[in-house]
Structure 1
């Protein structure tokens, strides 16, 4: 088994639940909210601020059009850059401590750049299925809920592109891509366990 499993996912696809169940079955740590909690402690930002800026782009289209690296002096004081750097350090630390499952936050790219071996997974589902999955968590219905999901996808896509210079959801960046809406979350878990040889 590879040391670390990363889970990237479309909003509402069940990637969090899938990752949690994989970690439970493998008896290894699961890191999602823990990354937020540690980032809050290190940064001084609120939990809500970290959750909104730690995986979703809030950068202007002008900045996103530039080719300057995220840690150039131009953006040194940007809160989102500060959060990214803190989360990057936390993710690397968790991965170096031993086998675990890490959800989101460009973790597949971060570990690749750090030469830390990982098995990288992308979880997707059609937007109607994802709307069903989150209907009880958000106070939106119908077209408004679909638009909400599309906005979340867009912000996550732009965030990933800005910090990695890669296309979010491109199969080249992952060892496995699964459609949880088509095969179900339980089958996704089974397939991941099977693929890593446990």
Structure 2
């Protein structure tokens, strides 16, 4: 039976969230959107992709959710969008792309406040992947060939940035288990074990519905 669920994945840096998302999508036979989301948003908004990469999951200093919703209904040609600061345009374009992608069918979307953008979506499973610090440090140190100290510094810095971005744009707290359908420690089951767990969870949820 074809998957009917849209899965969003929030993740701590070094927890393997992106790899888990890619493998889960492959198991379910659906598309996975991570950096691909930036390309989609850039193409649909007409903005340069480099702008999205430079502002990717980075917090801003000034934003009102009501402005997003007002502009979302007006589209990219509205005067509100034209007059909006570039960081606001970037967020709105990603928000819009996420909504359109979810409307097209089942998929996996990694990061970028996707669970918040799709909070009213009926077939949503929102997941947060976290991990033990020693496992995350080992993963990052190996992947980027850096020392354990440097890896830990990268983890703390990246997670702080992601939390600031998420907490600012959404009405929830990044990593708060009450805000997600499921929160999983990938250090316990490993990457493949976590993928299997999520696949089973999605199947059972669809069966129940």
SS of the equivalent of 1:77 reads coil
Question: Structure 1 runs of 4+ off > 4 angstroms?
Answer: none
Q: Which ranges in structure 1 are unaligned for 5 or more consecutive residues? A: none
Deviations 1:57-89 (CA, angstroms, capped at 9, x unpaired): 2x34xx5xxx8447378xx63322211100011
Structure 2 residue 29 is the aligned partner of structure 1 residue 22:
no
1:89 correspondence with 2:85: no
Where do 1:151-190 residues align within 5 Å? Answer: 151-190=157-196
Secondary structure of the equivalent of 2:144? Answer: coil
Q: Are 1:45 and 2:48 matched, yes or no? A: yes
131-140 vs 27-36, which moves further: 131-140
Asked whether the equivalents of residues 138 and 148 of structure 2 are also in contact (C-alpha less than 8 Å), the reply is no
Please state how far the C-alpha of 1:8 moved relative to its aligned partner.
0.8
Report the counterpart of residue 117 of structure 1 in structure 2: 123
Q: Does 1:11 align with 2:13?
A: yes
1:78 to 64, 70, 85: 85
Aligned residue-pair number? 188
CA contact (8 A) 1:6 1:102 kept: yes
Q: For the residues of structure 2 that align with 1:96 and 1:46, how far apart are their CA atoms?
A: 23
Answer yes or no: is the 8 Å Cα contact 2:5–2:202 preserved in 1: no
Whole-angstrom distance in 1 between the partners of 2:40 and 2:64 = 28
Residue 106 of structure 2 corresponds to 99
Question: After the TM superposition, which of the residue ranges 28-37 and 134-143 deviates more from structure 2?
Answer: 134-143
Residues 69 and 109 of structure 1: is their aligned pair in 2 closer, same or farther, counting only changes over 3 Å? closer
- TM-score, structure 1 normalization: 0.84
Q: Does the 8 A contact of 2:39 with 2:49 survive in 1? A: no
- Contact persistence 1:11–1:130 (CA under 8 A): yes
Report the secondary structure of 2:174's partner residue: coil
Say which SS state the counterpart of residue 169 (structure 2) adopts.
helix
